[in-house]
Structure 1
Amino acid sequence: MSAAKPTSPSSPNKTLRPRRSPWPKRIVIAVVVLAVAGGGWYFYRQRNAEQAASAYRTAKVERGDIRVAISATGALSAISTVDVGSQISGQVTDVLVDFNDRVTKGQVIARIDPSTYEAQIAQGTAQVNNARAGLATAQATLRNAELDYQRKTELAKNQLVARSDADLARAARDQARAQLAGAQAQINQQIASTQTSRLNLQRTVIRAPVDGVVLTRTIEPGQTVAASLQSPVLFQIAEDLSKMEIVLAIDEADIGQVKPGQSVDFTVDSFPDRKFRGSVQQVRLSATNTSNVITYPVVVAVDNPDGVLLPGMTANAEIEVSHRDDVLRVGNAALRYKPADDDPAAASAAGGPGGARGGLGNDLPAVAAKLKLDANQQAAFDAALEQMKQRMAARTAAPAGGAGGPPGGGAPIIMGGGRGPGGGGGGNNNRNASRGGGAISGAARQRMLERFNQQFGAFRESLSEAQRAQWDGEVAALVSARRVPLYKLVKGEPQAVTVRVGASDGSWTEVSGNIAEGDEVVVGTGRGTK
């Protein structure tokens, strides 16, 4: 009898599945929650940054050209205009030229009735002949007086006549000599008078004194010319219209920038779409006072080969006094911006950490590059520049130095310059980026130059004469440059930086210092387009 297998009443009929761990699901949920939280935090930060940025209107610092020009108006005229008049009076019989006619030197252009002067010549000729007859009579009288004097002198020696008779004969001889001299003088006088009449006869024919074009004609045939008091102007002849000139009236505030040789662009109303060019030929010293406004005449030479420019046309001219190529520039609105007193940027401009100064140390390498230094000169420059930076760093770290050192000090002023007390003056006219703000007095500028020459003395001595002159000019321009504050937008907040301003064309101003191309600068507050 076989034994049966025991069975366990508690064992299930099918296989039990293992239980899943809850941690993977929890990890996924945590990652999703963290991603949502991170995205929310990033969106919140980005939104706050955009809101902060939208509180300011900005513009970018860019590179470009700046052309500084002075505007003025004047009238075109021929370089040489000759007034042709008459030296004699009389009736005009012929007028041989008209307006716009071309004439050559010596060409007959008019005639005056010569009959009066022909009669004067005939009368003068007769008077000369009469005087010559009187001269012959005087000569005969003199010969007779000479012979009588000789006879009576011999008789008086032999005591055959009285001494008084010899004296009377001598007096008669002297009188005859005087009469002969008078007759000769009368002949000369009549010849001179006749010669004057002949000259007046020649002047009845009016000739062109120069080659040119007749601009005006003020006489007609039959008209009487009276030249007793002053010579009347009969014609006006422009010598050469292929070359003309413009006389511009330049204000005394701008005349110091105008130099001979500067380029001039101008337009005329007759050709509004065409631009003509000229150059400054002369800056005249004769000032004109019109309603207490002082102006100086500036002569601009103009070529007119095609003859389209005519005398008297009004020229609207611009004298190019400066041209800067490929420089950092900002819109003048950025120079006019000034934060409110409660704005954090105002504290930054007053000397906070954001008020970074633009020093000469950033510009000196570019100046040195223009000099084309050799190896020894470059080494001397690098050493002097490094010493200046070290002294500047020491002054800045000193407690008394504060933000840039004491006023009138040496290296701090040279490296950092001076902060402009008013940054809102820029761009108010087409010649200066600012007036007053950041200006340095003459005494302070002199001290800065002296300190600078001491620091770079060894390097300067290594330069040639031409290099030294260029170096001195560039350094003087850097030291005397105006300094104003700009406000860069950094992480949504405006940060004040002091920059040097240069040429301005009324819309853009050249800047240099602690600023770079592409930086955002504040031009105003409120929402606006960047």
Structure 2
Amino acid sequence: MAILRRVGIPLLVIIIIAGLVFLASFFLAGSQTPTTITYTVQRGNISAIVRTTGKVEAVRSVRLSFRTGDLLRRTLVKPGDYVPSGTLLMELDTSALQRQLDQAEAQREIARFNLSASVEKAQSNPNATPASPSELYSLARQSELADNQLAQARAALDNARIYAPFDGTILSVDANEGDYVNPGQAVMTIGDLGHLQVRASIDELDVGNVAVGQAVNFTLDAFPGKTFDGTVTLVYPNPTSQSGSTVYPAIISFTRPNDLYLRPGMAANLSITSVSRTNVLVVPNRALETIGLDRYVTLINPDSSTEKVPVVTGLTNADQTEIISGINEGAKISLPR
């Protein structure tokens, strides 16, 4: 009996432990979530999307400058002002130029008077000694030179003023009254805010898939939840450098909405539809496995067994991939959960 007790107690403990392990594994197995799900291959539409960023800008904007240098006397507008074409915007100190203009006008009047008086004298008094041809030529030449000097004085005065080249909005004023302004120095920017566009940056890896005429959807950080439609109208042939990457500028045209006040400089997030295909077989990207140079899906057979099947893929985007061959519509495949 003592021997049985010595053998029976450890045996009982082993049986109890084995039972607990079995029960634990049973309940744990029942509570585990399957690692795969079943997907039925079906037809759908797929688009290859190029995603990038850009900035809103005026289709037409100009940085204005004077053709001559002097002290800035008057600034007649401020940023945000709408001005019709031809409006005087800025003026340098024109006091010296105005004196030159007045002198040129006076000299022209004198030259014209002398020429006219000489001609009238000859016509009204046939007995008077007429002016010689050389004298008449000299008077005519003086009148012509006076006209030229007056035109130059007017041009010089005009160069000391800046006028609006088109109907637009003043975007910036970059000089203060009293500053000395050099010829060609940008002092103001005007833009047509009625016609806007987006200037985007296309990465060199994507530029081959972007072409004029492609549809674009974009959002603006300034208007969350709003989506805008546009079209690629220009892809520049020459690249630029942006944060160490090579990018190609592109212009996206769109119709400015009347109910929103869009401004130059607003950040845009763009999705360019480079290629679209309809009614093709598509699968989620996570269904695909790459082994070497080939791509596979895990096919679920009618008897629930599985096998890896090679497939030929086509268009792909961030979510799904087109299947050209290898499986048929309605096939069941396994997806990792």
Alignment of 1:116-155 (within 5 A): 116-128=96-108
Alignment of 1:223-234 (within 5 A): 223-227=179-183, 230=184, 232-234=185-187
Q: Distance in 2 between matches of 1:205 and 1:124?
A: 19
Shift of 1:336: 2.0
SS of the residue corresponding to residue 224 of structure 2 reads: strand
Task: Kindly provide the amino acid, as one letter, of the partner of residue 295 in structure 1.
Answer: V
SS of the residue corresponding to residue 273 of structure 2 reads: strand
Shift of 1:108: 2.6
Q: Which residue of 2 aligns with 1:283?
A: 235
Q: Does residue 1:506 correspond to 2:322, yes or no?
A: no
Q: Does residue 1:99 correspond to 2:70, yes or no?
A: no
Is contact 1:61–1:518 with CA below 8 Å preserved after alignment?
A: yes
1 or 2, which has the higher helix percentage?
1
Q: Which residue of 2 aligns with 1:60?
A: 39
Q: TM-score, normalised by structure 1?
A: 0.48
Counterpart among 482, 489, 494 of residue 306 in structure 2: 494
Shift of 1:107: 2.2
Alpha-carbon RMSD across the aligned residues, in angstroms, is 3.3
Task: Kindly provide the amino acid, as one letter, of the partner of residue 61 in structure 1.
Answer: T
Contiguous gaps of at least 5 residues in structure 2: 1-32, 120-131
Q: Which residue of 2 aligns with 1:87?
A: 67
Is contact 2:91–2:160 with CA below 8 Å preserved after alignment?
A: yes
Task: Kindly provide the amino acid, as one letter, of the partner of residue 190 in structure 1.
Answer: A
Is contact 1:59–1:331 with CA below 8 Å preserved after alignment?
A: no
Alignment of 1:353-364 (within 5 A): none
Task: Kindly provide the amino acid, as one letter, of the partner of residue 198 in structure 1.
Answer: R
Are the structure 2 counterparts of residues 219 and 56 from structure 1 closer, same or farther at C-alpha, using a change threshold of 3 Å? Answer: closer
Q: Distance in 1 between matches of 2:160 and 2:249?
A: 39
SS of the residue corresponding to residue 333 of structure 1 reads: helix
Shift of 1:316: 1.3
Counterpart among 301, 304, 319 of residue 253 in structure 2: 301
SS of the residue corresponding to residue 260 of structure 1 reads: coil
Q: Does residue 1:331 correspond to 2:284, yes or no?
A: yes
1 or 2, which has the higher strand percentage?
2
Q: Which residue of 2 aligns with 1:313?
A: 266
Alignment of 1:221-300 (within 5 A): 221-227=177-183, 230=184, 232-239=185-192, 241-289=193-241, 293-300=245-252
**Amino-acid identity (%):** 28
SS of the residue corresponding to residue 280 of structure 1 reads: strand
Is contact 1:487–1:494 with CA below 8 Å preserved after alignment?
A: yes
Are the structure 2 counterparts of residues 72 and 104 from structure 1 closer, same or farther at C-alpha, using a change threshold of 3 Å? Answer: same
Task: Kindly provide the amino acid, as one letter, of the partner of residue 60 in structure 1.
Answer: Y
Are the structure 2 counterparts of residues 92 and 216 from structure 1 closer, same or farther at C-alpha, using a change threshold of 3 Å? Answer: same
Could you give the per-residue CA deviations for residues 74-101 of structure 1, whole angstroms, max 9, x where no partner exists? 1110000022322333444433221111
The structure with the largest alpha-carbon Rg is 1
Contiguous gaps of at least 5 residues in structure 1: 1-53, 140-175, 339-420, 424-483
Are the structure 2 counterparts of residues 309 and 128 from structure 1 closer, same or farther at C-alpha, using a change threshold of 3 Å? Answer: closer
Q: Distance in 1 between matches of 2:284 and 2:81?
A: 54
Shift of 1:314: 1.4
Q: Which residue of 1 aligns with 2:3?
A: none
Shift of 1:103: 1.1
Task: Kindly provide the amino acid, as one letter, of the partner of residue 486 in structure 1.
Answer: V
Is contact 2:54–2:199 with CA below 8 Å preserved after alignment?
A: yes
Shift of 1:204: 4.5
Shift of 1:323: 2.9
SS of the residue corresponding to residue 193 of structure 1 reads: helix
